[in-house]
Amino acid sequence: MKINNKGTLGLFVVLGLVSGLAFASGHEHGSHAVVADEVVVKERAMLAQNTKGKGFGPQAPRDIDSKSGNNDIVFSRAPDYTAMNLCNIHFHESAEHKGGEFTTYAGNGDGHGSMSGYKYSGHLSAAEMTATEEVCNSEHGSLAVGDTIEVHYVHSTADITPGPTLGSCLATDIDNNPQLRVMTQVYVLVNDKNALDFGKLAAVSKVHGKYQANMPTNLGVPVNYIGSTTGPGFDEKGSPFQASWSVYPKVAKVNIKTVGKWCKGNQFKEDHAHGVRNLVENKELLSEIK
């Protein structure tokens, strides 16, 4: 992402980030029609057509198990997240990325980011899958046991305070050109009081002068690549906003009730799961993972 001017351009970038990386679209169990394969094929074709020859850099999300990519546009990778400020936490219903322990296709969804993406491909016990009250209920839908979420811990080089929307990642009066790194972890929701507490995973504190979250450190070696902001708003058009991605390959089990509690009140004002962008498969829109 390049922000070179203040005022109107700064506002445009903030709005673009909010509608891109954290596009607000969830799901409601059993309430949306599922689109045919042809719809997703058409969306991918439109993405290719709308980006061809227009200078778009590498896109996201992607299959992290595939390293190939032909997009030769390069930008500076963001520093390690520990040298940056955590600026926002939000999550998507189902994983936007594919790979590692989340390779089960959730389906085509409704064509607008709901009921699509990828699910945890491991096994859950009958006890873990015991039905409980659905959580994070809103006009966008709800979450149930067995659902997978992809959590985006967004970090910025700007001197900011963590807060709602990705506008919190920008300090437009001070730093108009921050770099972003998205630390990406995938969790599966279970009915188990001994599973991880999402409230603790999203707790923020200062470490060596930088805002940091309490992310797990045992989810494997993250796959690092350069890409873009995500969200279903970019299914048929390219995202112009640059981001460095670090995607962990393993999945952690999280107590669904703690996710529900977090959705009822947090400093990021998040109350629902966001929708997902189609997996980007066009090699011309992917960077090579080195």
- Count other C-beta atoms under 10 Å from residue 207's C-beta: 12
DSSP string, 193-260: TTSB-HHHHT-EEEETTEEEE---S-S-PPEEEEEE--SGGGSSS----EEEEEEEEEEEEEEHHHHH
The verdict on residue 265 lying in a domain is yes
pLDDT at 138 over 90: no
| Segment 198-204 mean pLDDT | 98
The verdict on residue 2 lying in a domain is no
Q: Tell me which of 4-18, 123-137, 165-179 is least confident.
A: 4-18
The verdict on residue 36 lying in a domain is yes
User: pLDDT tens digits, residue range 239-286?
Assistant: 999 999 999 999 999 999 999 999 999 999 999 999 999 999 999 999
Look at residue 177 in the predicted model and tell me its pLDDT: 80
pLDDT at 13 over 70: no
The verdict on residue 1 lying in a domain is no
Look at residue 194 in the predicted model and tell me its pLDDT: 97
- Structural domain containing residue 225: 8-285
Q: What is the mean pLDDT of the chain?
A: 89
How does strand 180-190 pair with strand 204-207?
A: unpaired
The CA distance from 42 to 246, in Å, is 29
Look at residue 139 in the predicted model and tell me its pLDDT: 81
| Segment 63-69 mean pLDDT | 98
How many domains does the chain divide into?
1
| Segment 29-48 mean pLDDT | 84
The verdict on residue 290 lying in a domain is no
Question: In this structure, what are the phi and psi dihedrals at residue 171, rounded to the nearest 5 degrees?
Answer: -120, 80
Look at residue 172 in the predicted model and tell me its pLDDT: 67
The CA distance from 125 to 195, in Å, is 13
Burial of 174 (0-12, 13-18, 19+ CB in 10 A): exposed
